[in-house]
Structures are given as structure tokens and as C-alpha cells.
């Protein structure tokens, strides 16, 4: 077949994506022209809590598109071509706000104030004990009953041609039991190298704990009918944090050597998953020694030819194989989302750090400026 020049492929691909969006989301298509900026478009996406919800579309020079909603600072889709130039989304998400209001398990959202678990929903700062809602068995999970994932954030799209949007949220003193007014900002940028850069910053007026991450579920094939157990994964971690039956770390930092947790050399996710009770849902202690932005993960899928590399400044990553997905949630196209239909790579501090003095601290003090960065880089061969 005669090869098309690259820019024609990009244009055809962008037209294809636009027509896909029009067919799946009428609300978006009628409002898409409301406000357009180079690199970012903004569309009305409904209301909740009396606040307006928007859907931002970040488009890069290659025609790749990432959609972000200010409801939960959520990534709703990341559409890119596979090795046959067929576009599909590599993350789980819905075409309309109603999908998210039905409380899916954190699809694409920013979770916080404390992502992951805090044992028994209790922690102390100095001598003061704080109590959180226990929304996951005996423990607190992902910021509580109405965490960052269920809040409407303020949003500012880039005013130049950058494919970028900045979202911010003020979590009030006492919200979900956490101390301090916490101002948190998340900026998403899609680069022309198909990197989705996520920068978090935060400050507080009282000592508090903080662990923010993005909870995207990836399936590089772009089709939930394919399990992620055939993806090949490398995690640059010689150690992980073993957990008790309620998924709280025991406090031990354990070597992965000779265990199913050894992903230091790439292997199929399904290769040893049978030996891990319930599937992978564990925090890996990254080998990187400082808080510089370093590559920590490489995920590959041979069906689509896609590779996802993950870079982060954070000390850990929660590798979760969608164990609790049970076929009760459907995609907007009506496909059943079964167990292992997608997986998460949540860059983070370790679970239950506020109760584990040996883990890197998650304490944020007044006067300190929190900053972290994670980059997901997609390529295709
Ligand atoms: C947790 C899982 C949980 C999932 C959805 C992950 O971060 O580790 O245990 O089921 O989030 O809530």
C-alpha cells in the first residue's frame, strides 16, 4: 500500500476522532464550539452540586486527544492510534457526566486528600488524633466519602497553544476529617511527544497529610474485551510493601526477588498472578533514590503495538490489576468491564504512611509548597 505522508495521517486521524466524539456524545458536539483555544477546547458537560462541569479536549500536533473533566479532575479518554493507525482510548472512561455520578471506582480521577488507605481511618499529627470515614472495610480509602474525585474543580485552560489545563480545588479545614485548608492544583499537559504530564502542587494553613495521585485504568489494546493479563510489565522496584488481609502495609519493606512481585525484568502480568491472593494491589518501593523525575515503569501490549512508559518524582507506585472490577459496570459503548479489563499505575507515597514512621513522610506543614510530577508517555511500533 502506498504510504501517506505523516501530516495527512494526523489530519485523517483528527477528523476520525471528531466524528467518533460526535456520534457518542451529542451534548459535547453541540457545545464544542462554545470556546476554542489552540490546543484546548472547552465544552459544557452538565452540572452537579449546583456547579458547572466542563469537558476539556487537549489536542497535540499529532492529533492525539486527551479529555479531562473538572469533575474529579478526571481523565475521561486518551485516544491515540494503534500500530494499524486505528484510534482507540487506552483508559477507561465515560462519554457523559452521568457515568461518573454513578460512582465508578475512581475511573481516571485525581484521588485525595489521602489516596490509598489509612488504617482504621485514624492518624495522629503531634498529639492530636484525626478520624476519617471508614469507607473500605475497616479502613479509609482515597480521601473518604466525598474525596477529590467527587468534587467540581475550578479550571483554567491554557491561554496559548499549549494543550494544557490547570485545575484547582480548595479542600476546607475539617473536610472528610482532615485538618487544614488545603489548596491543591493539578495541571495536565499533552505534549507533541504523546506524553501526558501531570503536575500537582499544594499548600496548607495547618499541618496535614497529603497523598494525591491519578487513578486512570489502562488497557493498551483500547478494548476492554481484552484482558490486561497479556500486557508485559517492567517496574523498577527491588522491594514492595506487603499487606495484611485488609490491604494495609505490615510495615515491612520486602525484596521482590523470587516472588511473583518481581517485575524488575519485564514479564506478562498474568504469568504469576495466580500466586497472588486476589491479584496485584500492592505498593512498589521504587529504586530511584531521590525525588527527581525518573522512569519507573514500562508497559507493553503486542496486540496494539502500544508502549506506555511512566516517569515520576514519587517514591512508590500502586500496581492494581482491576481485581474488583466484576462485570457490573459497562462502558459507554455497552461493553462489560470484567475483572482485569484494565489496570492502574498510581504513582504515590506509600499507603498508611501517617501511621508508619519508617515510610517517607506525607506530612505537609504550613509554609511548605508541595510539588510532584508524573508523566505517562505513549508510543506505538
Ligand atoms: C486500590 C484498590 C481499590 C481501587 C479502587 C486502588 O487504588 O488499591 O484496592 O479497589 O483503588 O477503589
pLDDT in tens, 167-198: 999 999 999 999 999 999 999 999 999 999 99
Nearest CA to ligand 1 atom 8: 281
CA of 204 to the centre of ligand 1 (A): 26
pLDDT of residue 13: 47
Q: Is pLDDT above 70 for 32?
A: no
Q: Is pLDDT above 50 for 26?
A: no
pLDDT (average), residues 294-301: 98
Nearest CA to ligand 1 atom 4: 105
Instruction: Give the whole-angstrom CA distance, residue 141 versus residue 348.
Output: 14
Mean pLDDT estimate for the chain: 92
pLDDT of residue 224: 98
How far CA 271 is from CA of 240, 263, 275, 365, in Å, comes to 18, 11, 9, 43
Atom of ligand 1 nearest to the CA of 116: 7
**pLDDT digits 0-9 by tens, 309-331:** 999 999 999 999 999 999 999 99
25 CB near ligand 1 (under 6 Å): no
352 CB near ligand 1 (under 6 Å): no
72: CB partners within 8 A, 6+ apart:
100, 108, 109, 110, 148, 149, 150, 151, 153
Atom of ligand 1 nearest to the CA of 215: 7
pLDDT of residue 69: 98
329 CB near ligand 1 (under 6 Å): no
pLDDT (average), residues 265-294: 97
**pLDDT digits 0-9 by tens, 207-251:** 999 999 999 999 999 999 999 999 999 999 999 999 999 999 999
User: Band of the pLDDT at 21, cuts 50, 70, 90?
Assistant: very low
Active site residue 349: no
Residue 72 Rama label (left phi>0; alpha psi -120 to 50; beta): left
Atom of ligand 1 nearest to the CA of 281: 8
pLDDT (average), residues 43-57: 98
Q: Please state, for a pLDDT cut of 90, what percent of the chain lies above it.
A: 89
Residue in the structure block whose three cell numbers are 501530516 = 7
pLDDT of residue 190: 97
350 CB near ligand 1 (under 6 Å): no
CA of 344 to the centre of ligand 1 (A): 9
CA of 352 to the centre of ligand 1 (A): 14
Q: Is pLDDT above 50 for 373?
A: yes
The pair phi, psi for residue 240, each rounded to 5°, is -140, 175
CA of 203 to the centre of ligand 1 (A): 26
At residue 259, the 3 state secondary structure works out as coil
User: Band of the pLDDT at 159, cuts 50, 70, 90?
Assistant: confident
User: Band of the pLDDT at 16, cuts 50, 70, 90?
Assistant: very low
pLDDT of residue 161: 84
Task: Provide the whole-model pTM.
Answer: 0.91
Which grid cell sits at 145?
466519602
Contact 44, 52 (CB under 8 A): yes
320 CB near ligand 1 (under 6 Å): yes
At residue 375, the 3 state secondary structure works out as strand
Which grid cell sits at 291?
525525588
Q: Which of 211, 344, 349 to mutate to test the pocket of ligand 1 (most atoms within 8 A of CB)?
A: 344
346 CB near ligand 1 (under 6 Å): yes
pLDDT of residue 238: 98
Max alpha carbon distance in the chain (Å)? 72
Q: Is pLDDT above 80 for 36?
A: no
Instruction: Give the whole-angstrom CA distance, residue 336 versus residue 342.
Output: 12
User: Band of the pLDDT at 10, cuts 50, 70, 90?
Assistant: very low
Catalytic residue among 32, 142, 215, 349: 215
Instruction: Give the whole-angstrom CA distance, residue 178 versus residue 172.
Output: 9
Q: Which of 106, 107, 118, 141 to mutate to test the pocket of ligand 1 (most atoms within 8 A of CB)?
A: 141
Active site residue 346: yes
User: Band of the pLDDT at 301, cuts 50, 70, 90?
Assistant: very high
pLDDT of residue 160: 85
User: Band of the pLDDT at 272, cuts 50, 70, 90?
Assistant: very high
Contact 58, 164 (CB under 8 A): yes
Contact 37, 157 (CB under 8 A): yes
Amino acid at each position: 500500500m502506498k504510504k501517506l505522508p505523516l501530516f495527512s495521517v494526523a489530519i485523517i486521524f483528527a477528523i476520525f476522532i471528531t466524528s467518533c466524539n460526535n456520534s457518542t456524545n451529542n451534548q459535547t458536539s453541540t457545545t464544542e464550539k462554545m470556546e476554542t483555544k489552540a490546543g484546548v477546547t472547552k465544552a459544557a458537560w452538565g452540572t452537579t452540586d449546583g456547579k458547572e462541569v466542563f469537558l476539556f479536549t487537549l489536542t497535540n500536533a499529532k492529533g492525539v486527544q486527551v479529555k479531562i473533566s473538572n469533575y474529579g479532575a478526571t481523565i475521561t479518554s486518551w485516544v491515540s492510534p494503534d500500530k494499524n493507525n486505528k484510534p482507540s482510548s487506552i483508559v477507561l472512561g465515560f462519554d457523559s457526566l452521568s457515568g461518573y455520578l454513578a460512582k465508578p471506582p475512581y475511573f481516571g480521577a485525581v484521588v485525595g486528600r489521602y489516596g490509598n488507605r489509612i488504617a482504621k481511618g485514624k492518624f495522629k499529627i503531634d498529639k492530636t488524633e484525626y478520624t476519617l470515614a471508614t469507607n473500605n472495610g475497616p479502613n479509609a480509602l482515597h480521601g473518604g466519602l466525598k474525596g477529590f474525585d467527587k468534587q467540581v474543580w475550578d479550571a483554567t485552560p491554557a491561554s496559548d497553544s499549549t494543550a494544557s489545563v490547570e485545575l484547582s480545588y480548595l479542600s476546607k479545614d475539617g473536610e472528610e476529617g482532615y485538618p487544614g485548608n488545603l489548596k491543591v492544583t493539578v495541571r495536565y499537559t499533552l505534549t507533541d511527544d504523546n506524553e501526558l504530564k501531570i503536575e500537582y502542587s499544594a499548600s496548607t494553613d495547618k499541618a496535614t497529610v497529603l497523598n494525591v495521585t491519578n487513578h486512570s485504568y489502562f488497557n493498551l489494546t483500547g478494548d476492554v474485551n481484552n484482558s490486561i493479563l497479556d500486557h508485559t510489565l517492567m517496574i523498577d522496584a527491588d522491594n514492595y510493601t506487603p499487606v495484611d488481609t485488609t490491604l494495609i502495609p505490615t510495615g515491612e519493606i520486602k525484596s521482590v526477588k523470587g516472588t511473583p512481585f518481581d517485575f524488575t525484568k519485564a514479564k506478562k502480568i498474568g504469568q504469576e498472578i495466580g500466586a497472588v491472593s486476589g491479584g496485584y494491589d500492592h505498593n512498589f518501593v521504587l529504586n530511584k533514590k531521590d525525588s527527581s523525575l525518573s522512569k519507573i515503569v514500562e508497559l507493553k501490549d503486542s496486540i496494539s503495538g502500544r508502549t506506555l512508559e511512566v516517569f515520576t518524582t514519587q517514591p512508590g507506585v500502586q500496581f492494581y490489576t482491576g481485581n474488583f472490577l466484576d462485570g457490573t459496570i459497562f462502558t459507554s459503548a455497552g461493553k462489560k468491564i470484567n475483572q482485569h479489563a484494565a489496570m492502574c499505575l498510581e504513582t504515590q507515597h506509600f499507603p498508611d504512611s501517617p501511621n508508619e514512621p519508617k515510610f517517607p513522610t506525607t506530612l505537609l506543614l504550613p509554609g511548605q509548597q508541595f510539588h510532584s510530577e508524573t508523566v505517562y508517555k505513549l508510543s506505538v511500533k
